[in-house]
Amino acid sequence: MKAGIYRLISSLLITMACLPIPASLAASPPEKPTVPTLPQWAEQSESASTGTPLRLQAEFPDQQWWNLFNDAYLPSYINGAIQNNPSLNIAAERVIQARALVRQNVALELPSVDVNPSYYHIGLPQQGAGVGVNLPRSLNFYSLPLQASYELDLWGRNLDQIRSSKRQMEATEFQSKTVLTGIISEVASAYVNLLRADALIRTQQENLALLNRIEELKRSQNQAGLTSYDEVIRAERDTTEAESQLAKYQQQQAVFAHQLSVLTGTSPSPQAQLQRGSLEELALPVETQVGIPSELLARRPDLLAQEKLLESAHLDVSVARKAFLPKINLGAFFVMGALDIHNLFDWGNLVNVQSAVVNQPLFKGGKLKAELKYRKSKQKEQLENYRQTILNAFKDVEDSIALLKADSATLEANQKRLLLTEKNLGLTQSLAQQGLVPRLNTLQSQSEVIRYRQLAMQSKADKAIDTISLYKALGGGF
C-alpha cells in the first residue's frame, strides 16, 4: 500500500523541464569585447576585498599632457581628481554595472540547473474511501529533484543579445572616459584661471599703489596751483576703478580656488590653502600644426561610444527579427523520492522526465512587430547621433584651433606692446633722473607698463586654456 501511495505522490511532484543541450550542438562561446587601439586605457582596480572602486587612467600616446606646462603642482591636482572626483567614481560604477549586465546575458547561452530539496508531511484518513482499508495517520515524504534546462539557440538570437550588451558595455566604458577627459581639462583650466587671478591681483596691487601715489602728487600740485582740480578728480576715479577691479580679481581667485577644490573631491578651500605655481613660470606647450588629421578624432571616447551604441542598435534589430522564429527548449527533470529519508538515495526511487518543447509565436497582438519597428527606429536614431557626434568633434577641434591661433596672435601683439612700453619707461626714467621730466611722468609710465603686463598675462592664460580645450577636443592630447 505504501508503495502505491509513494507512486501517487511522486507522480504529482514530477514536472516537465528541460534537458542540457549536447556538446555537439552547443553554440560558439561569446566573443570577447573588442579592445580599441586608440585610445588605449588602463583600468586600475584594487582587490575586491578592499572595496576600492574602479579607477580609470588615460594612456594616450602623449599621456599626461599636462606635464607639458612644466608646473610642479598641476599633476598633483589632476591625480587627486582622478582618485576622488565623485563624477569619475560614478562613471566607474556604471562600468561595473554594464559588465554585470553582460554577465547576465551570457548566462542565456549556458544551461540552467536547479536543485530543490523538499519535505512533505501528509495527513491521511483512517480508512480508505469506500474500500475499508486502514491507512497510516500520516506520511513523511522526502524528495531531491534536480532540474536542468537549456534554450537551443539555433537562430543566434541569444548570441546577438549578448553581443548587443557587450557593445553597450563598451559604450559605457568610453562614456566614462569622456567624463575622465572632461574632468582633467576642467581641473587644468581651473588651475590656470587661479594662476591668472593670482597674477592679476599681484600686478593690480602694484598698480593701485602707483595710482595712490599719483593721486597724492596731483593733490599736492593742485594745492600748489600747478594743476586744476579736474586732474585730481581723474586721479581719484582711476584709483577707485583700480580698487573695484582688484575686488573683482579677488572674487575670481576665490571662485577658482573653490572650483579646483571641488573638482579634486574635497570641500571648497580658501585660496591661501592651495599650493600652486605662478602664471609667469607656466610653460606653453609647443604649438601643433594647423590641420588636425581625422585619425586623431577617431580616438575621441564620445565618438567611440556612439559607434558602439550604433553597433548595439543594429544587433537589437536582429534580435527583434529573430523573435518571430520558434524557440526550442530541451531539458530533463530527475527526482529522488522516498517515504524514509534513509532510502532517499536509493536508485530504485529515481524518476526522470526528458522533454523537447517548441514554442512558435502565432499571435501576440502586434507586440513583435511593434518591437521590431521600435528597434529599427532606435537604430536610425543612433545613426543620427553618431553623425552629430562626428560633426561636433570637428567643430570642437576647429573652434579650439581658431581660438588658439587668435590668442597666439594677441599674446604676441601684447608682448610687443609691453616691450615698447617698458622701453618708453626706461627713457622716461632716464629723463627724470636728468630732471627733464617731472616724477609724475615716471609713475604714469610705470602704471602703463603694469596694465600692458596684465594684458599679456591675460593672453597667456587664454592661450593655455585654449590649448587645454584642444587637448580635450582631440580626446586627451595630440
Q: Domain limits of the chain?
A: 1-23+30-36+115-152+327-360, 37-42+65-110+153-326+361-473
Of residues 136 and 10, which shows the higher confidence score? 136
Residue 429 CB neighbour total at 10 angstroms: 15
pTM of full prediction above 0.85: no
Banded pLDDT at 337 (limits 50, 70, 90):
confident
As a whole-number percent, the residues of the chain with pLDDT over 70 amount to: 82
Q: Cα separation of 313 and 117, whole Å?
A: 43
pLDDT, one tens digit per residue, over 249-286 is: 999 999 999 999 999 988 887 777 889 999 999 998 86
Of residues 285 and 317, more confidently modeled = 317
Angle at 348 between CA 344 and CA 354, to 5 degrees: 95
On the question of pLDDT at 200 being above 90, the answer is: yes
Contact 124, 135 (CB under 8 A): yes
Q: Could you tell me the three cell numbers for 246?
A: 582688484
* Rounded-to-integer distance, Cα 231 and Cα 212, Å: 13
Q: What is the pLDDT of residues 227-258, one digit of tens each?
A: 778 888 888 898 999 999 999 999 999 999 99
Residue appearing with cell numbers 550542438: 25
Residues 6+ apart with CB under 8 A from 221: 227, 231, 440
Contact in structure between 283 and 70 (CB atoms under 8 Å)? yes
Neighbours of 107 (CB within 10 A): 11
Averaged pLDDT, 298-305:
88
To the nearest 5 percent, what fractions of the chain are helix, strand and coil? 60, 15, 25
DSSP secondary structure code for residue 49 in this structure: G
d(CA 299, CA 292): 13
Amino acid code (one letter) for 409: A
Banded pLDDT at 29 (limits 50, 70, 90): very low
Task: Give me the residues paired with residue 367 across strands.
Answer: none
pLDDT, tens only, 109-118 = 888 888 888 8
Three-class secondary structure of residue 153 per DSSP: coil
Q: How far apart are CA 110 and CA 340, in angstroms?
A: 35
Please compute, for residue 301, the number of CA atoms within 13 A of its CA located in the half-sphere on the CB side. 26
Range from 139-143, 391-395, 468-472 carrying the lowest mean pLDDT: 139-143
Give the CB-side neighbour count of residue 82, counting CA atoms within 13 A: 20
- Give first-to-last CA distance, the chain, whole Å: 86
pLDDT band at 59 (very low <50, low <70, confident <90, very high): very low
CATH architecture of 1-23+30-36+115-152+327-360: Single Sheet (2.20)
pLDDT band at residue 131, thresholds of 50, 70 and 90?
low
Task: From 118, 183, 169, select the one nearest 335 (Cα to Cα).
Answer: 118
Cα 259 to Cα 81, 179, 196, 263, distances in angstroms: 12, 17, 14, 6
Share of the chain above pLDDT 90, in %: 40
- Mean pLDDT to the nearest integer, 144-172: 89
Stretch 394-400: mean pLDDT, rounded? 89
Protein fold of 37-42+65-110+153-326+361-473:
Outer membrane efflux proteins (OEP) (1.20.1600)
**pLDDT of res. 20:** 37
